[in-house]
Amino acid sequence: MLTVYAATGRGLQPIAVESGEKPESAVWIDLMCPTAEEEAMVQGWFGIEVPTREEMREIEVSSRLYEEDGALFMTILSILNADAPHADATDVTFILLPSALVTVRYAQPRPITLYAQRAGKAGPSCKAPDYVLLGLVETFVDRLADILERTGADIDTISREIFEHESKRPIRPADFKAIVARIGRSGELAAKVRESLVTIARMMSFLSSGAGEVRLSKEVRTHIKTATRDCAQLGDHATYLSNKTMFLLEATMGLINIEQTNIIKIFSVAAVALLPPTLIASIYGMNFTHMPELEWTFGYPLALLGMIASAALPYVYFRRKGWL
- Listing DSSP states for 97-165 in one string gives -SS-EEEEESS--HHHHHHHHHHTTSGGGGSSHHHHHHHHHHHHHHHHHHHHHHHHHHHHHHHHHHH--
Q: What angle do CA 227, 231, 235 make, to 5 degrees?
A: 170
pLDDT at 262: 75
pLDDT at 150: 92
Whether the pLDDT of residue 166 is over 60: the answer is no
Distance CA 253, CA 274 (A): 32
Biggest CA–CA distance in the chain, Å, is: 117
Instruction: Give CA 312 to chain center in angstroms.
Output: 53
Q: How confident is the model over 21-54, as pLDDT tens digits?
A: 777 778 888 889 888 888 888 888 888 888 888 8
pLDDT at 104: 92
Tell me what the mean pLDDT of segment 47-75 comes to: 83
CB atoms within 10 A of CB 57: 15
- First-to-final CA distance of the chain: 68
Q: Are 93 and 55 in contact (CB under 8 A)?
A: no
Q: 65: pLDDT confidence band, cut at 50, 70 and 90?
A: confident
pLDDT at 22: 76
Q: Where are the domains of the chain?
A: 2-259, 260-321
Whether the pLDDT of residue 306 is over 70: the answer is yes
**Class of 2-259 in CATH:** alpha beta
Q: Which helix (H) or strand (E) holds 75?
A: strand 71-80
Q: How confident is the model over 228-280, as pLDDT tens digits?
A: 898 999 999 999 999 999 998 888 888 778 777 777 877 777 777 777 778 77
Q: What angle do CA 134, 136, 141 make, to 5 degrees?
A: 95
Distance CA 269, CA 323 (A): 8
Strand order in the sheet with 11-15: 11-15, 2-8, 26-32, 101-105, 88-96, 71-80, 65-68
Tell me what the mean pLDDT of segment 290-299 comes to: 72
Q: Are 119 and 135 in contact (CB under 8 A)?
A: yes
Whether the pLDDT of residue 158 is over 80: the answer is yes
